[in-house]
Structure 1
Amino acid sequence: MMASRSDVWIDPLDQTHIDYLRHAGVTVPAMINPTPVMMATGAGAHDGLFDHHPDGEPWLAFEEHEDCVFWNPRHGRFATYANRVFALGQAVIDEAATYSFDCALNVFDNPLGWLLAKRDGIVVLDWTRAFDRLRDAPRIALAESLLPLYRRHMKPARTPELFIVSGKRRAA
């Protein structure tokens, strides 16, 4: 039996965080659509999950289908509520509009770049799951800083054992 997780309280952004995002160039529509950027206080645990603490550091919170992604801009750390998502904004991976008119799936190195692009793409949180989730994407536009991670993780975790059969056949 799994232990239940405590609730995480997410609140609307305070003025300090709104000013931070606006000063960075993020538009108000990018902050509120399709769901508003929120905030929570706490810490990222060693297992990648977010632990709520009223006196913890502020984290930006992004609601995802079946999960919530937390980002600490000060330290560049990520955490999730339930570890069900592999990327922030991952719903666009399966949308036909993402690739229409020869467009590509944009992969950003942090949520600030993603917000500056009006959430047009994803931010990968767990590169170990990237190959299985992105293998069918026809086109990917990648932030240059992510190229080493992309090359290391965009291959199958397991491949079949290979045997080479000689072209010469022996008579029995």
Structure 2
Amino acid sequence: MNLHLSSRDIDSRTLDIVSEMKSLEGPLLPILHEIQAEFGYVPQEALPVIARELNLSRAEVHGVVTFYHDYRDHPAGRHVLKLCRAEACQSMGGDALAERVKVLLGIDFHQTTLDGSVTLEPVYCLGLCSTAPAAMLDGEVHGRLDADAVRDLVAEVRA
């Protein structure tokens, strides 16, 4: 993931990715996932390239990017902490834990700490309802969270 690419480099790599994947059935989501894996986010410069190559409007591509919570429009921090916001997690104290994490990090959802260490994102189900409240840190799920556990998670990503 290179964050210092020019628009020309983004266009070129986006075109490569789209060309490799556009023959898939329903290629837009896999293409967006691959672009985010490549750049760490879905750059605005990539949207017209995707639209042109898939014969979609830019509005259609933008709509998909903004509809799904997993796509970012800016680079994430070194760590991504996703807190489950689904009903099961809320009913088990997820709202209070989310507020605690926001205070510990000094940011809100969809923000990154000033030092670039952590991006905090809401997620609307991790499939861990039986171990609610839950979170995902850099792809690893954590269940049965309490105040001590979230403090430890935050300490881990701030170290």
Pick the TM interval, shorter chain. Answer: under 0.3
Q: Which has the higher contact order (CA 8 A, sep 6+)?
A: 2
Q: TM-score, normalised by structure 1?
A: 0.25
Higher helix share: 2
Q: TM-score, normalised by structure 2?
A: 0.26
